Amino acid sequence: MQRTETSRRAARGVLAVCGLTLGLAGLTAAPALAAPVAAGVALAATPEVEVGETVEVAIDLTGLVDVYAYELTISFDGALFDYVDDSAAGAPAGGFDAVESDEGTVTLVHTRLGSSPAFAGDLPITLELLSTDDGEGTVAVESVHLVDADSATADIEPLPTADVTVTAPPVDPGDGDGGGSGGDSDSGGDPTPTPAPEAGDDLASTGADALPYGLLALALLAAGGILTGAVVLRRRIGGVR
């Protein structure tokens, strides 16, 4: 979620307010320490993920000396990644933290409070990015600003980058029009047609079925002939009488 313009300005002004406060406190304190120093900054990110997976980003500030506050900005391809809210971690206890996220950037601010000691040594910081689309992207440390007790500032250079490849998730062979179900319908969905009988078989079958009727017809004809002969013979005998 993006913050309002007022919250953006407030977060970006944390370092200035902190520096002024520390500077005033330093007027009544012992002589100022040396300007903040950092030997370098390292960056590592998950090199390859699928869409929907998170990219683990690790930033290491090394060799810190007399650092009372820092502002760290990470840039990334906003078309491929989104900052995962509340994923930033690593700032030591005893201070104030602010996270400002926008499309393609996330800025982390931390300042010591009260009598909390300055940073010294190495400081590891981590955050997460959610991959939203496939493609080749880059995660980079855009800037690192340090503030000491007298509001003196220093920037860390050179700034590292890391390449990240986002791939599309694999396609399930069972999904879509080209899946296995289509092949099954071609091989077994339709019943196998029964071959039509040959002409000779039809005639033979028809002849066999009609044979009893033919014999019956011949028998009737024969009976009719005998009956007709008997009638004629009877008429002749009657005429002789």
The per-residue pLDDT for range 14-47, each reduced to its tens digit, is: 444 444 344 433 333 333 445 676 679 999 999 9
Does the residue 139 lie in any domain? yes
Residues with Cβ within 8 Å of 45's Cβ and at least 6 positions away in sequence, in order, are: 55, 56, 57, 58, 129, 139, 162, 164
- Overall number of domains in the chain: 2
Does the residue 227 lie in any domain? yes
Does the residue 185 lie in any domain? no
Same domain, 90 and 147: yes
Sheet with 81-83: strands ordered across? 40-45, 54-67, 119-131, 81-83
Of 151, 167, 183, the last residue of a domain is 167
Which CATH number goes with the domain that contains 131?
Answer: 2.60.40.680
Same domain, 157 and 214: no
Same domain, 15 and 129: yes
| Percent of the chain whose pLDDT exceeds 90 | 45
Q: Which run of H or E residues covers position 109?
A: strand 105-112
Query: Interhelix angle for 14-27 vs 5-12, to 10°?
Result: 30
Same domain, 116 and 213: no
Same domain, 148 and 211: no
48 DSSP β-pair partners: 165
Does the residue 59 lie in any domain? yes
The domain of 211 spans: 207-241
Q: Is the pLDDT at 150 greater than 50, yes or no?
A: yes
Q: What is the pTM assigned to this prediction?
A: 0.61
Q: Is 15 helix (H, G, I), strand (E, B) or coil?
A: helix
Assign 6 a pLDDT band (cuts: 50, 70, 90): very low
Q: What's the rounded Cα separation, in Å, for the pair 56 and 215?
A: 98
Of 167, 197, 219, the last residue of a domain is 167
The pair phi, psi for residue 179, each rounded to 5°, is -75, 180
Q: Which of 91-100, 109-118, 137-146, 175-184 has the lowest mean pLDDT?
A: 175-184
